Amino acid sequence: MKILNQIGTVFFTDNLAAVTTERVRSALVASNLDPTFARDLSKRYCFSRAKNRMQADGLIDEIEETPERWTWQLSRRFREAEHLGYEFDSSFWFDKGNEDVGADNPSLLERVRELFSKYGGLHLPTDLTKLVRRIFDRQKGMISLRHSGAIYFVPVENRVLMNRVAAFIKDLGGECITAEIGADNALIRDKAQTMLVESVRKDLDSIVSEIRELSADNALLSARKAGNRWKELVAQLDRIKTFARSLNADTSDLLRKTRNSELDLALVAQADLDVIAALAHAGKVGTALGQIARTAFSGELPPLNSARVRAVLPPLDFATVCPEAVLPCVAAHQPVLVEV
């Protein structure tokens, strides 16, 4: 077995500041990054963010929205505070087609453009963090180590992309901090592993909380939402799988550390979803995992006594077996769907 001396890097950003949207675009191009990553920097997005901030600050009031335009008016409080005359009492709009602000009154239009330049022309530190996450999340093998923020484990083969992102952040006046992980660097390896486990557990807890709230409110879990929750579980498994492979870590150990009493990733990794759904549909599995499977595959399940279900379970008396005895049997007898 070949073990690389340099396995990867823990990467995170720091000291980000608000910058103009045009500067973000130019920095992406200069760093050989796809400028479409910054799709949120379009005029329409900047307008939407600006109007939301101005409305929250009580500067404007919405009049109406149509498929063609948003129509607004400066608030009475703002006009009085700025000692603006009656000519500023008329409406202005944002044309969705040409992505520009308009008004019949030239004085009002000039003032409105000043406001939107002030409120919509900046890209905030949180926006830059989202942009970095978008770039990394599209690249296979990049492992987010926190639920929020731009803290990643970067495998050595993705170093070129990491350097481009670092150049992009540096061009904007920010800073990138990295910690190299070698085969003998146990301290950084353990820290990165701890961060990953905490992040995965937080994501699992949010799924369980959602299922509990639906159950408490007697609300139905739609098939679409159940399918999305299942995809999230598989995505968490993929994070663990890639991280374990990169650091030669024990995948089973990581799965044990991320275990949730109601939503066990180890079972997701090993169990056939159709079988879990069939058992849940028959009332043999009552956990959050069972609810997700039952709802997502309702109407398309193999019968509980079908050969497919029987083939992966030991001989059980389905009339008397308790739910707690079912899932371990599924886990013990099913092939691994997500390779680890």
Instruction: Give residue-wise pLDDT tens across range 109-131.
Output: 888 888 877 776 667 777 788 88
Question: Across residues 27-38, what is the average pLDDT?
Answer: 86
Residue range 250-273, pLDDT digits in tens: 888 888 888 877 888 877 777 777
What is the total residue count of the chain? 340
So what's the pLDDT on residue 1? Answer: 31
Question: What pLDDT does residue 42 have?
Answer: 59
The Cα–Cα gap between 168 and 27 comes to 6
pLDDT for 139? 83
Indicate whether 45 pLDDT > 70: no
Concatenate the DSSP letters of all residues of 185-238 into one string.
-HHHHHHHHHHHHHHHHHHHHHHHHHHHHHHHTT----HHHHHHHHHHHHHHHH
Q: What percent of the chain has pLDDT over 70?
A: 83
Inter-residue contact 271 to 214 (CB < 8 Å): no
Residue 134: half-sphere exposure toward Cβ, Cα within 13 Å:
15
Q: Mean pLDDT throughout 190-213?
A: 87
Burial class (CB in 10 A: 0-12, 13-18, 19+), 2: exposed
Residue 337 pLDDT exceeds 50: no
What confidence score (pLDDT) does residue 115 get? 82
Rounded to whole angstroms, the maximal C-alpha distance in the chain is 85
Sign (positive/negative) of CA torsion 162, 167, 172, 176?
A: positive
Closest CA to 260 of 283, 282, 292: 292
pLDDT(340) > 60: no
Statement: residue 302 has pLDDT above 80: no
Q: What pLDDT is recorded for position 310?
A: 74
pLDDT reading at 335 higher than 70: no
Residue 171: band (very low, low, confident or very high) from pLDDT cuts 50, 70, 90: very high
> 132-167, pLDDT tens digit by residue?
888 888 887 788 887 666 788 888 888 899 999 999
- Residue 186 CA to residue 210 CA, distance in Å, equals 36
Three-state DSSP at 141 gives coil
**Residue 148: per-residue pLDDT:** 66
Contact predicate 294/280, CB 8 Å: yes
Considering only CA atoms, which of 85, 88, 115 is closest in space to residue 101? 115
Report pLDDT digits (tens) over 13-25.
888 887 777 788 8
Q: What band does 46 get if pLDDT is binned at 50, 70 and 90?
A: low
Q: At residue 291, does pLDDT exceed 80?
A: yes
Using alpha carbons, select from 23, 12, 37, 13 the residue that is nearest to residue 125: 13
